[in-house]
Amino acid sequence: MSKREIKKAVLAYSGGLDTSIILKWLQDEYGCEVVTFTADLGQGEEVEPARQKALKLGIKPENIYILDLREEFVKDFVFPMFRANAIYEGEYLLGTSIARPLIAKKQIEIAHKTGADAVAHGATGKGNDQVRFELGYLSLDSDIAVIAPWREWDLNSREKLLSYAKEHGIEIDKKGKKSPYSMDANLLHISYEGQILEDPLTEPEEDMWLWTNSPEEAPDKAEYITISYKNGDPIAINGEEMSPATILKTLNEYGNKHGIGRIDIVENRYVGMKARGCYETPGGTIMLKAHRAIESITLDREEAHLKDELMPRYASLIYNGYWWSPERKMLQASIDETQRFVEGDVRLKLYKGNVIVVGRSSSKSLYSPEHSTFEEDEVYNQKDAEGFIRLNALRFMIEGSNQPERHRNLLSKIEK
């Protein structure tokens, strides 16, 4: 589909400088009607100003969509991901990654509602988000046209963007001052990239972190909280039942207070290069620790171990944009099946950047004090262990008898 065939496009619109420029550029370059979509994902900023900015740029009131997606975001995206204990490359809790499939879904829904034949986003041609958005679009509507301005225009520097904005009367926030970092925020996390962070040796300044206290400035007294779980999802904090978004918001407040959830990583982007990013995921860090704790007493050993083996693949699927793929849905079904009996309470101690599990209980617990005790018991015959060990060692014993040279080689290496 060529440019001139686009009649109407739905733009993922934040109201910021970049997407405002994209809005105007779409009108000029494609000559199409533009529908703006602004998602409230709990990013901590007012989203209504986006309406006024869109109106100033000539968007019809009926073509401006501002949706509060906080509950849907946590219930249908964040919680399913945390049932898997998903973590990318050992550290990243996928805060940006998990928001993209929801935004893509809503853009497609709005496109269908308004009769739009295209969707547009503001992701650059270097990052992961272009992949995440577009895999989402095309999974949900294979006929939709996709416009990615950063891959088409020549406005490839901050100066050119500012010049374009000035030329077209687009309001420039902060009087054109350069923002120190590229940031993304939602109810799960806030991320920082660019500027001094492009040198992986340089420590970020303390005032970069916008959410969390530094561990040094966090309270000197530990705080205890209890999270209650049902079907693998948190349902209450300190006995008070809350909605999914309220639970995450409340855990964020605890985490921010105690300096929890900061990470500084170099990650492998799907498009090929390495990138350094800093993240604050306070509530998510607490949830991950608590969820693993309640699973530790409610999941069977092999079930838990297999789940841990599948997790890196599941996390990579989300990081790379494959939320809507058949394989992610297949893994999700398996993961959700394991969560039927994951319920109970986890008690945590929060202290200067640390989340410490201090207790866990469940009516579905598989922990048996009678079997685990070091005291005398009447349920476990320790003599049974001899046969168990000899059966597991049987193949080694046969090998030692029939291929003694293997054992001699092993012993010689050990002795050296």
Name the domain boundary from 144, 179, 214.
Answer: 179
% of the chain surpassing 90 pLDDT:
82
Average pLDDT over residues 26-35: 95
Residue 265 lies in a domain: yes
Confidence at residue 3, expressed as pLDDT on a 0 to 100 scale: 56
Confidence at residue 132, expressed as pLDDT on a 0 to 100 scale: 98
Domain total for the chain? 3
CA torsion, points 137, 280, 86, 270, in degrees to nearest 10? 50
Measured distance CA(246)–CA(243) in Å, rounded: 5
Average pLDDT over residues 199-214: 97
Active site residue ranges: 18, 100, 129, 182
Residue 319 lies in a domain: no
Residue 35 lies in a domain: yes
* In contact, 283 and 188? CB cutoff 8 Å: yes
Please, which pLDDT band fits residue 228 given cuts at 50, 70 and 90?
very high
Assess whether 149 and 228 both reside in one domain.
Answer: no
Average pLDDT over residues 143-170: 91
More confident residue, 156 or 162: 162
**Considering only CA atoms, which of 116, 149, 135 is closest in space to residue 9?**
116
Task: List Cα–Cα distances, 199 to 177, 196, 214, in angstroms.
Answer: 22, 6, 22
Pairing of strands 344-351, 223-230: antiparallel
Assess whether 349 and 269 both reside in one domain.
Answer: yes
Assess whether 353 and 210 both reside in one domain.
Answer: yes
Assess whether 188 and 172 both reside in one domain.
Answer: no
Q: Which pTM value belongs to this model?
A: 0.93
Assess whether 218 and 272 both reside in one domain.
Answer: yes
E strand intervals along 240-352: 240-241, 262-268, 274-280, 344-351
CATH for 157:
3.40.50.620
Assess whether 163 and 252 both reside in one domain.
Answer: no
DSSP state of 92: B
Assess whether 17 and 131 both reside in one domain.
Answer: yes
More confident residue, 373 or 129: 129
- Decide if pLDDT at 315 tops 90: yes
Confidence at residue 371, expressed as pLDDT on a 0 to 100 scale: 75
Residue 212 lies in a domain: yes
pLDDT in tens, 76-127: 999 999 999 999 999 999 999 999 999 999 999 999 999 999 999 999 999 9
Residue 313 lies in a domain: no
Measured distance CA(210)–CA(265) in Å, rounded: 17
% of the chain surpassing 70 pLDDT:
97
User: Based on the number of CB atoms within 10 Å of its own CB, is 368 exposed (0-12), middle (13-18) or buried (19 or more)?
Assistant: exposed
Domain that holds residue 397: 369-415
Assess whether 194 and 173 both reside in one domain.
Answer: no
Confidence at residue 173, expressed as pLDDT on a 0 to 100 scale: 64
Pairing of strands 118-120, 8-12: parallel
